[in-house]
Structure 1
Amino acid sequence: MRRLLVISFVWSPGNPLPAGTGGSENYTVGQVRELLRRHIPAQVVTIGLGVADGRAEFADIPFLALDTLADVGGLDGTVVFVNEPHIVATKHPAFLVLHNLPPIREKYRAFAIEGTRDLTLIATSRYAAGLWADFLDVDVATINVVYPFAEPCFAGQSRVDNATGTTRILFAGRLSPEKGIYTLLETLHIDIIAQDSGLTFAATTAGADKPQGKIIERLLNEHPGVSVVPTRKTPEGMAALMAEHDIVVMPSNSQYWHETFGIVSIEAQHSGCRVVASDDGGLPETDCGGVVFVKPDDSEALAWGIRQAVDSGPLPADARRDAGMTFTVAQSVDALLRVFAQPRPISPATIIRQLEELVAAPSAQRLATVPIK
C-alpha cells in the first residue's frame, strides 16, 4: 500500500484544468475532493504550464506543476493518467482513466495502442469498457469500470418553487456539435414545441471559450426561444441552476461521437430534474429513474421525448431521494480504491513479450540433441 501515500491525477500535458466545462474535469476534481475528505493525500498534476494551470479555479484542490512529462517518472505514490495514455516509466505501475472514446483517425491509433500497453485501464461505463476492449483487442474483464458521480450538493440542493406556470428546460452541456445542440435547435422549430408557450428553454455558456462554442453562443443569443445563462464553475453553482429547472435535455450526437457516460444526467436527477437523453453510448447506464430516452440525432424524437417528460410532471420527492443514493462520489471512490488494491491484470504488452520469449526459446528437440559433457 506504500504507493497510495499520494495519488496523483495527471492531467493532459500542456492543458490547464478548466472549471465547469465537462465530465472528465468534474470526475477528476471530485475524486480528489473525496480522497482528501478521507484523509488520503491526492493531487492534480499538470505539465508545462507552471501555476497558470487552472488552480485558481480550485482553491481546495492541491496542484503540482511539472515542467515535462518525463518528470512524472519521479512521482512517489500512485500515478493516474487522465484522458490520454503516455509512455513514461513510473516508480509503480500506473493507471489510466479512459474518459475519451477510442480514436477514429488512423494517425492517432498507434499513440493510443502503444500508450495503453502497460497501464491498468479504467473506463467510466460498461459501454466504454466494451469499446476499448474491442479497440485494443483485449478481454473486457481486464478493463475496470469506475462510474462517475454527482457531488453530494446535487442531492442536497433545495428545489426552487416554480411560480412561472411554465416548464423550465435546460441544456447544460458544452456548446459543441457532439453534445447535440444543433438537434435541440431543430427541435425548437417543431410545432409541438414551438407552439407551446408553456415551455421555456435555457442553455449555459459552457464551452463558449472555444471557437466553435463562440459561434454557437451567438446563434443561441439570437434565438428568441432560448435564454443564455453563464456557465457554473462549481458543483454548488450547477446544482443551484438545475434546481431552478424541471427538465434537462441531453440530445447527444451519435453520428461520429458517443457519450461514454453522461455525468450531467445523474447530476440533474439528483437535483430533482427529469432528463431527456439520447439512447446512445453510455447514457442508458445513467438512468436513476428519471430519464426519457429518445432516438439520437432525431429532432422529432427529441420533441416527443420532451413532451413525455412534461406530461409526467415534476420528479416525485421519493424518486429524487432514490436517485440521490446512486452514483455517489463515495461509491465511485470506493470502486477506485478497489482497483488500486486488486492484483494487477496482465497487460497486453506483457502477454506479447511472454509469447515472444516462448517462441524464441529453444525447443525440447533441439535441447535433446545437445551432447552432455
Structure 2
Amino acid sequence: MNILLESRVFHPSVGGMETVARQLAEAWVRRGHDVQIATQTPIGSAEEVRACEVYRLPSLSTRLRLLSNADVYVQSGISLKTLPLGWITQTPMVVIHHNMLPLKGSTIGVRNGMKRVASRFSENIAVSEAVANDLPRDQTSVIHNPFEPSFSDSGQDVESHRLLFVGRLVSVKGADIALRAIAELDERYILDICGEGPERDALEELAHRLKIADRVTFHGWVDHQDLAPLAQAAAIQLIPSRYEPFGIVALEGIAAGCAIVAADTGGLPEAVGPCGVLVSPNDSGTFAEAIHHAAANRSQLLSHRQEHLRHFHIDTIADQYLDVFSQAVCG
C-alpha cells in the first residue's frame, strides 16, 4: 500500500504528534508498505526517518503528485486547508484526530464546527473515546496512541510517599491542584515537578504560601535520560489535568513503576486503566484522598500493568491503523 501521511509538525521537531507520526510511519514500512510524509516542519540537523521519503514544505504541485500516487491519504490532525486536495484527487482519506472539537468560543468554535462537518467526508481515527464523541461514530474508529517506553521499572524499592508531576507548567495541566493536594497531606509526602512553562513563578509562590516549599522540588525541563531516575524513584505519578485528549504521560509513569492518580477527564481513564485512581477534576481535596489511597495500595494497582501496557504496543497499534486504511481503500 502506498501511504501518504501528512503531519503538520514532524521530526526533528519534538512533541507528541511528531513522535506518534514517526513511530507509525516506521512501523508501516517494516510491514512492507511505502510511506511518504508531507510536513510543514523544515529540515533540521537530525537524520531523516528510516526508509521514508519526507517532503518538507511541499508545493501544491508536489502535494497533488503525491496524492495522485497514493492509495490512502492520512492526515495526522485535520487540516481544512489541505483536506480538499484529497477530494480533488479522489484519494481515499483517513484523518487522525488528536484533540476534541468543542464548539465553545467564537473563532475556535466555528473552526471546530467546520472540522466536524469535514470529518463526514473521510474515515476517522480518534485517539480516545473522549475525542471520538465529537465525530461521526459510524465513520470513526478509536485507536489509542502507541507507546514505546523510554525507561522501565528499575526493580528497586521506592519511597512510598514520593510523588511525581511531569508536564508543562500551564493551567490546563493542573500543577496547582497537585500543590494544593500536597498541602492537605502529612509531611511524609514530597513532590518532584518536572516541566517548564509560564506559570512556574506563580506555582513556586503558591508552594510558599501553602508552606510546602520544602517538600516540593521544581526541576524545570528534564530530558528523558535525567527523568528516568526520578520516575523510577517515585511511587505515584500525579496527572491533575483539566483537559487531556489521551495522556501518554500516564503510560510512561506506569512503565516506570508508578501508580497513577489522575483527573477523570478526556482520555485519561483509558490511558490509566487499572493502574491508578481517577478523581473529579479541580478537586484538590479528593485528589489528596486518592494519593493516600494509592500509596497504600500501589502494588495492587500495578498488578496488571504489563497486560495494560501491551494494548499500546506500536505493532498492535500500527496493525489497527492498517485495518482502517484497508477499509477506506475498499470503500
TM-score bracket relative to the smaller structure: 0.7 to 0.9
Judging changes above 3 Å, is the alpha-carbon distance between structure 1 residues 16 and 114 closer, same or farther for their aligned structure 2 residues?
farther
The residue matched to 2:121 in structure 1 has which SS? coil
1:88 to 53, 67, 84: 84
> 1:188, 1:298 → 2: CA distance?
12
1:125 to 121, 125, 128: 128
Are 2:164 and 1:200 equivalent residues in the alignment? Answer: no
> 1:9, 1:233 → 2: CA distance?
27
Are 2:232 and 1:243 equivalent residues in the alignment? Answer: yes
Cα deviation, 1:283-336, whole Å, max 9, x if unaligned, reads: 222243211011111010111111111111346775333333222222211110
- List gaps (5 residues or longer) in structure 1: 347-373
Which residue does the alignment assign to 2:23?
Answer: 30
The amino acid of 2:163's aligned partner reads I
2:201 to 211, 215, 218: 218
The residue matched to 1:203 in structure 2 has which SS? strand
Which residue does the alignment assign to 1:179?
Answer: 173
Cα deviation, 1:224-251, whole Å, max 9, x if unaligned, reads: 23223354556x7766653232211111
Cα deviation, 1:199-228, whole Å, max 9, x if unaligned, reads: 2211222xx3xxxx2x22334556423223
> 2:298, 2:278 → 1: CA distance?
16
2:245 to 260, 281, 303: 260
> 1:51, 1:311 → 2: CA distance?
49
- Matched-pair contact (CA < 8 Å) for 1:125–1:260: yes
Which residue does the alignment assign to 1:159?
Answer: 154
Which residue does the alignment assign to 1:295?
Answer: 280
Identity of aligned residues (%): 24
> 1:288, 1:237 → 2: CA distance?
27
Cα deviation, 1:259-301, whole Å, max 9, x if unaligned, reads: 2222222232233210001112222222432110111110101
Cα offset, 1:50, TM superposition: 2.9
The amino acid of 1:32's aligned partner reads A
Are 2:107 and 1:107 equivalent residues in the alignment? Answer: yes
> 2:231, 2:50 → 1: CA distance?
23
The amino acid of 1:216's aligned partner reads E
Judging changes above 3 Å, is the alpha-carbon distance between structure 1 residues 241 and 96 closer, same or farther for their aligned structure 2 residues?
farther
> 2:301, 2:276 → 1: CA distance?
13
Higher deviation after alignment, 175-184 or 314-323: 314-323
1:50 to 20, 42, 46: 42
Judging changes above 3 Å, is the alpha-carbon distance between structure 1 residues 149 and 83 closer, same or farther for their aligned structure 2 residues?
same
The residue matched to 1:243 in structure 2 has which SS? helix
Cα offset, 1:175, TM superposition: 2.0
Cα offset, 1:162, TM superposition: 3.8
> 2:84, 2:238 → 1: CA distance?
40
> 2:144, 2:65 → 1: CA distance?
29
Which residue does the alignment assign to 2:56?
Answer: 65
Cα offset, 1:338, TM superposition: 0.5
The residue matched to 2:84 in structure 1 has which SS? coil
Cα offset, 1:29, TM superposition: 2.9
- Matched-pair contact (CA < 8 Å) for 2:22–2:49: no
So what's the TM-score if we normalise by structure 2?
Answer: 0.80
> 1:61, 1:233 → 2: CA distance?
27
Cα offset, 1:145, TM superposition: 1.2
Judging changes above 3 Å, is the alpha-carbon distance between structure 1 residues 188 and 119 closer, same or farther for their aligned structure 2 residues?
same
Cα offset, 1:59, TM superposition: 6.6
- Matched-pair contact (CA < 8 Å) for 1:16–1:46: no
Judging changes above 3 Å, is the alpha-carbon distance between structure 1 residues 10 and 316 closer, same or farther for their aligned structure 2 residues?
closer
Judging changes above 3 Å, is the alpha-carbon distance between structure 1 residues 29 and 227 closer, same or farther for their aligned structure 2 residues?
farther
The residue matched to 1:88 in structure 2 has which SS? helix
The amino acid of 2:96's aligned partner reads V
Which residue does the alignment assign to 2:304?
Answer: 319
Which residue does the alignment assign to 1:370?
Answer: none
Judging changes above 3 Å, is the alpha-carbon distance between structure 1 residues 27 and 231 closer, same or farther for their aligned structure 2 residues?
farther
Judging changes above 3 Å, is the alpha-carbon distance between structure 1 residues 145 and 317 closer, same or farther for their aligned structure 2 residues?
closer
- Matched-pair contact (CA < 8 Å) for 1:288–1:326: no
- Matched-pair contact (CA < 8 Å) for 2:182–2:189: no
> 1:187, 1:57 → 2: CA distance?
44
- Matched-pair contact (CA < 8 Å) for 2:147–2:251: yes
The amino acid of 1:321's aligned partner reads Q
The residue matched to 1:342 in structure 2 has which SS? helix
Cα offset, 1:117, TM superposition: 4.2
